[in-house]
Structure 1
Amino acid sequence: MNLLLSLETSSPVCSVALHRVADGALIGQSELRLDKSHSTHLTVLIEQLLENTGHRLADLSAVAVSDGPGSYTGLRIGGAAAKGLCFALDIPLVAVSTLRAMAAQVAAGTAHPEKFWYCPMLDARRTEVYAAIYTHEGQEVLAPTPLLLDADTLAEQLAHHSVLFFGHGAAKFRAVLGEHSNAGFLAGIEPSAISVGQLGVAAFHRQEFQDVAYYEPFYLKEVYTTTPKAK
């Protein structure tokens, strides 16, 4: 059986899923909501998912990985695992935008999805978030970007469209925006390997593959570091 394995490690949720390549059907999914667990638990989740669904690594036709933005460390772990599997099995690597996958996830569960634009927001420290805006069909309205949040952020978009905000950075925007007739906020939405896999299957059929040797996640910003104090 030809399967696509998807990995989502851009947030504190470590998530893996299996989809059938032929029709995109979900075969199985597993996740662990334990902060800073990706490095020790990702390969275990993959092994358990394959075992529980009665499959082997040899059944994989491709691996899809959440491409970012998100946690620098998490993205590196997911990217390294995906590249290792693709290299060892000689199969293609598919990269899926974390924000686009979140938007697709919410749009799929929204009544009359065409009435809204979808704005996933991921926390990027202090008053900043990683954000993008998509239509219900996945068309990009605002490319992924770091946004500094204040009461006027996305004022132009909100003036003319109803926008749904979600992700673990959306609460920060709600606090500075206040009440707005065109802004809706959804709680409890986290990146998921299921939506990564759904978009990954579509990209697989379009043959949108990454170079396994040179692939790097889409960090969007340089990693945040501090300079050690001199002794």
Structure 2
Amino acid sequence: MGGASGGRSRGNLRRNAVWAFVGALLASAGWTTAVLVIPGMVGNSGDSAPRSLGGYHVSDDFCAVGKPDQLLGKYSVNTSSTSPSHHTDRNPALDSMNCSMSLKRIGGTSDSEYASVYLRADLHKAVNPAPELSANKETYRSRGYQISNITGIGEDAYFVYKDDGADKYRDIYAEVDVRDGGMTFYITYSASYTQGKTTPPSMDELRGMLQTDAGNAVRAMRK
């Protein structure tokens, strides 16, 4: 009995780790994939001249600057040797900041209540990032993700969502992408759960939390 339960727990943890990796990979490389999946989208997009950064600046600790307070009202950070982690790269053409956190539902008791959040901001100083954001959106749409536009954050923003899986084991992926001038930002949430064992946040709840956290992070980058 104990061995079977431990096997399911380890399986859930492995699924969480794999899905978190896939989510970060999709988010960080999605627009590049779009160039391959949807030929010509970026190359024929028009003006590629760089856009103003409008006061956005790079920081050394994006976990502090972009702290997702709304998500952290429902989850605690599962501290370990690798969580939370952050990294900043400075380059004449592109400054990048990222933060990743492993999360555990506050008051939760099962392995299926773990989640991951990943944030990234890029300051594009050599190109116009607008075509990248559009290509990324179309890539998600072609893969069956639900897309809805967001107003009130930057020049362009949208929400991405998918609840996927097989049998009673499900995977949730949610993301908010923002572009404002030469700045692009995204925050992603990924989690695995077992139907009937725990209830994950709804799509509307995730959209509300991620949209608020995205808006707060974008404003913080200008302070």
TM-score, with structure 2 as normaliser: 0.24
Instruction: State TM-score, norm by structure 1.
Output: 0.23
**Comparing both structures, which one devotes a greater share of its residues to strand?**
2
